[in-house]
Every structure is written in structure tokens, then in C-alpha cells.
Amino acid sequence: MKDPVAASSRTKTVCIRNPAASPLPPLPYQAEANQTIFLTYRAQAGYSLAPCGDFSAGMDPTATCAAAANDTADGDLSPFITATVSPLCPANATCNSCSVAGFTLGLCLPGRYRITYTVANSAGLTTTATLDVAVEQVTVTLLQLSLFPNRTAEGSANRTVADAFAANLAGNATARLELLAPVLEAFGIAQGSIRDISLTAPPEVLPVYLPSPAAPAMPPASPPLSPPPPSLPPPFPPSPLSPSDPPSVPGPASPPSPMQPPLSPASERSTPVDLAGDQGAISPPVAAAPAYYIVQVG
């Protein structure tokens, strides 16, 4: 007959590890530190959630197993660990279950699951540990954003600040998530649903110029000259001159019409003309320095 006191005083250690995390946290890495890992629907996990073949494998940061167990009297109990999977369903809902191998191969449907690892020693003491698995159907959203480096246009006039902001977005994934996650909420993307934010191109710093407020009003452009009307033949043929009629002498040229002043040469015009635009369109002046900078992210 077994001594119940001796049986209850034995120590059994069950370590549950996240095979996706490397390196492992410092020991003791115990079952009390139950966790949740996230897998992508129809994508292989790249590691196994099955129990480890032995205790030493569970302590190896490069191992791909998920649970190991040791007992002070029986020694390594890892080969005796059983793993069961159950779905975590909302109330009054029916959910499909899956298997440990299904998680590794990407065969489980989207949803939340719980793996329960159980092991018993020779004294009949049983210990369990759990690992929650969330299988997510990932969608990709492509956005192009124009951001103020310092929250407002007035605060974003420094090019050095804009360059540092762009470099931080490009090279720091944690900072990118912290900076862009609140912005994405405006597009209906909850922060808790974001798994990764990646860039299709490096962020670009763009200067923004504004028209100069002190620029004088531009005079209207002269209308284009219309061609003279074609000459019309006389209604009646001219009568022949009699010998007594004096010959006609051309008189002085008539002055130009006041409604149609002559166009002065281009070198004498007082206002610049944009020849590339519409007839006589004048380009508005802009400030010599950028008013502010924006960072374009896509």
C-alpha cells in the first residue's frame, strides 16, 4: 500500500512553452504561465504543438515541441503527456474542433481553441497545463497615408524632424505599430486586430509650398486680337471716270479704333506672361521655403 503522505509530497513539474518564441524566458517556465498563440488560417505553423519527446527537448530554445514534464521520483514524464483540443465557443454556439497536428499543418478553421496537456506520475498525481490557440483569417488592407511628422501642419515645418519620423517608421516595427495603429482606427481597423504593419515602399518626405500672402493682385491678361473682317465687294460696279473728274488722292490713314489698341512688343510688356499656360495666364507666386512637410506612407 502506498504511503499517501509520501505520494503527495512528491514534486512534479510540467513546463509549457510557446514554440513560436525564442529564446525561452528564464526558468522556472511553469504551467502557471499559460499563454495564447496566434496562427494564420491555411498557413502552416512551422512548429509543433505536440508534447516534447523528453524534458531536455522542452528546455531547448530551438525545439519545436510545446510541453515537457519531470517528476522528482519518476524522472522524465514528457513521453506520457497527453494533449486534447477543445474549441472555445461563444454561448449557445456550435464550433468545430481540431487536432494538434491540424494546428501545425494549418488545417484548423478560424476560431479559438484550448489545448490541455495532462500527465500523471506513478503515485497517481495528475497535473494539467493549457495553451490557447487563436486561428485567424488574415485580411490584407492597402492604404496610402499622408502624415504630419509632428501632428499638425504648424508643427511640421522642420525637415530634420520629418526625416527622423520617416526613418522611425521605416526601421522600427514596434514604433510603426504604435504610430499607425491609432490612425488605422479611422478606417475601421481595431488596434487589437492588427497583427503586422508593413510598408510597400520607404516613407517619403514631401515639402508643401503655399502661395505667398504678400503677392500683389495680377492684372488681367489682354484679350487676343481678332483678325480684321474680310473686305466686301461694292454693291454696284464703279462707274467709269469722266475726263472732268479729278483723280482720287489717298487721304491720311485713319487712327486705330479705341476698342482695339495695338499690341505692344513682348519686350515692352510690363507683366510676365506664362507662355506654357492658357493664352496669357499668369503664374501665381509661391513662398520660397516650404510651409511644412508631410510623410507619405504606403
279 contacts: CB under 8 Å, gap ≥ 6? 221, 224
pTM of the full predicted structure? 0.52
pLDDT digits (tens, 9 = 90+) for 165-205: 999 999 999 889 898 988 889 888 888 888 888 899 999 99
Query: All domains of the chain, ordered by start, with CATH?
Result: 8-136 (2.60.40.10), 145-212+293-297 (no CATH)
Q: Which of 20-29, 83-92, 215-224, 278-287 has the highest mean pLDDT?
A: 83-92
Residue whose C-alpha is closest to residue 39's, from 30, 31, 49: 49
- Say yes or no to pLDDT of 126 above 80: yes
Residue whose C-alpha is closest to residue 49's, from 111, 120, 130, 128: 130
Give the per-residue pLDDT at 256. Answer: 54
* Lowest-confidence segment of 72-81, 153-162, 236-245 by average pLDDT: 236-245
DSSP 153: S
DSSP 162: H
Give the per-residue pLDDT at 252. Answer: 58
- Say yes or no to pLDDT of 275 above 50: no
Whole-number Cα distances in Å, 201 to 142, 175, 204, 206, 241: 12, 17, 9, 14, 89
Cα distance between residue 151 and residue 205, in whole Å: 15
CA neighbours closer than 13 Å in the CB half-sphere of residue 260? 8
* Lowest-confidence segment of 83-97, 130-144, 251-265 by average pLDDT: 251-265
pLDDT digits (tens, 9 = 90+) for 14-52: 666 655 554 444 333 444 456 888 999 999 988 899 999
DSSP string, 167-211: HHHHH-HHHHHHHHHHHHGGGT--GGG------SS--EEEEE--B
